[in-house]
Structure 1
Amino acid sequence: MYNHERRRQLLKLLSQRGFIAVTELTKLFNISLPSARRDIVWLLEHNLARRRLGGIECLPGKPALSFNPDSSQPELPLRAARRRAIARAAAAMCSDGETVTINGGATTLLMAEFLATKQLTVQTNSFQSVRTLINAGSSEVVLQAGTIDRQRGIVLSPFERDYATYHYSSKMFMGIAGVNEHGLIESDAERQRAEQRMIDQAERLIVLADSTELWPRTGPVLCPLSAVDTVITDTQAPPAAVAMLHRSGVRVVQVSP
């Protein structure tokens, strides 16, 4: 069974049951534990589910089905186009000579392609972004030291005082797991600690979030909305979420794919 077909069935099963344990996935689809974990990471990165102890569950108030039941693949092309448009708009905010921080994520990763003609100093924890910037750009690149998380393509530092605490940037670009009136949501504790150190060393925090990521959800708050300068999203963003951001003094830029 191909990955996309297995994940389509997994989404359908998740919508029916609400929760699936990671060990159960190995039995249901006759796959290895690493393959099951990769499927879970894929769902989390596309905001089609959220972590729960031992497995994944449906997002509260949001249907788990984010695909066309008559199609063999999830409806991701439009979302990919939205993310590219968001990444392009983010890259346009970078000026030659700046030092910027780009956190690892599905949308921020796309920024590297649009930064090829820029002369920047780019700090990142994404070794995939580093590869693109080195192969197709002339910017100076600083990669965080630490342990490589292969599944997410990022480096996570175990140290409280790492490279991020000694490097200042004019802008930090990052993705989010979700947002509510209390702030940005990041459910992964290890990633949250690393992101907080980066945020503390940046003058402006710019969030890249497509419309599905602005769906209100609960979870650990990474930082309050008062710390956010700008949110770049697409034209399908929920009006209530956009209004909430405006009330909090956050600038919202909406782009069309």
Structure 2
Amino acid sequence: MYQEERMRAIIDYLEAHKRISVEDICSLFEVSRDTARRDLVKLEEQQAIIRTRGGALLPAAPFERIQNYNERLLSVSEEKQQIGRIAAGLVRPGERVILDSSTTVQACAERWTAGDTYVITNSINQADVLSSKPNVSVHLLGGQLHKEHRFVYGISVAETLSRYRADKAFIGTGGIADGGLFAVYEEEGRIKERMMQQASQVIVLADHFKFGKSNYYRFGSWSDVDLLITDLLPEPELLEQLRQHGVEVLTTQDYEKKESEEQ
């Protein structure tokens, strides 16, 4: 195999496995350690990899443009709709519930059926959706409005949240990766962090496209989460991290299977 072919194969391996060691290259391509190192040096010169001690990683992808809230609503997937339906079904009459400002959490609000519930939110969209639901009291937190993404934030929001205790908090996320949950905006992340602290049960709603993404601001760790509702299981390494921290993972497929068995 020529060096160019081997280098392409190394990139393919990195895209599938996230990292590669010199030993991996020697074993996969039956080359010496010196040859493996030369391949990595050349790939680094091309800015295709980041060399580490004993191997290499792919460079972090540049942050993609984040659509505004209304743009994201136009592309809410069937997976998100199913996640929202399952989440709404977990709410019991009489509960106090915190909702954040994500589109997946809005899918939960749209399918809300539990009456005699009290909802606390910083999302003007969640408040609007729930205002038409009978027997649902809505407290919209006051503060500075982020017009593009339609959430309220600021010191006053965090201070008001600290006075409440809720049975459940439904939290969306911009990314799920090593270390926990990520948000694009620090202002939004700080409010999510406070919401999680004020709830007895924290339920994260995220489709599988969020797995492996680490955005600008980390607002929560696995120890803060009780349940993750998603459409597909994450990669084994991430799934093991979740389970080690006691996070229950519920997929839409598992839920549908359970529903069919009960019928």
TM-score by length of 2: 0.65
In the alignment, does 2:137 pair up with 1:140? Answer: yes
Give secondary structure in 1 for the equivalent of 2:135: coil
Q: Deviations over 1:198-250 (max 9, x none)?
A: 22111111100000012243643212101110000003644443333223221
Q: Percent identity?
A: 26
Aligned to 1:169: 166
Aligned to 1:35: none
Q: Deviations over 1:70-118 (max 9, x none)?
A: xxxx9x5xx6110011011111111100101010101001111211443
How many Å separate the matches in 2 of 1:196 and 1:218?
15
Match of 1:179 among 156, 165, 176: 176
Aligned to 1:249: 246
How many Å separate the matches in 1 of 2:223 and 2:130?
31
Aligned to 1:158: 155
User: Which one has a larger percent helix, Structure 1 or Structure 2?
Assistant: 2
How many Å separate the matches in 1 of 2:237 and 2:115?
35
Q: Deviations over 1:148-186 (max 9, x none)?
A: 222112111333752201111011101011122311112
How many Å separate the matches in 2 of 1:181 and 1:20?
17
Match of 2:95 among 94, 98, 122: 98
Q: Which has the higher contact order (CA 8 A, sep 6+)?
A: 1
Aligned to 1:41: 67
Amino acid of the structure 2 residue aligned with 1:222: F
Larger Rg: 2
Deviates more, 1:133-142 or 1:222-231: 133-142
How many Å separate the matches in 1 of 2:116 and 2:181?
30
How many Å separate the matches in 2 of 1:19 and 1:242?
25
Match of 1:197 among 176, 194, 197: 194
In the alignment, does 2:108 pair up with 1:111? Answer: yes
Aligned to 1:56: none
Q: What number of residue pairs does the alignment pair up? A: 192
CA contact (8 A) 1:115 1:137 kept: no
CA contact (8 A) 1:180 1:218 kept: no
Structure 1 vs Structure 2 CA RMSD: 2.7
- Displacement, 1:129? 1.0
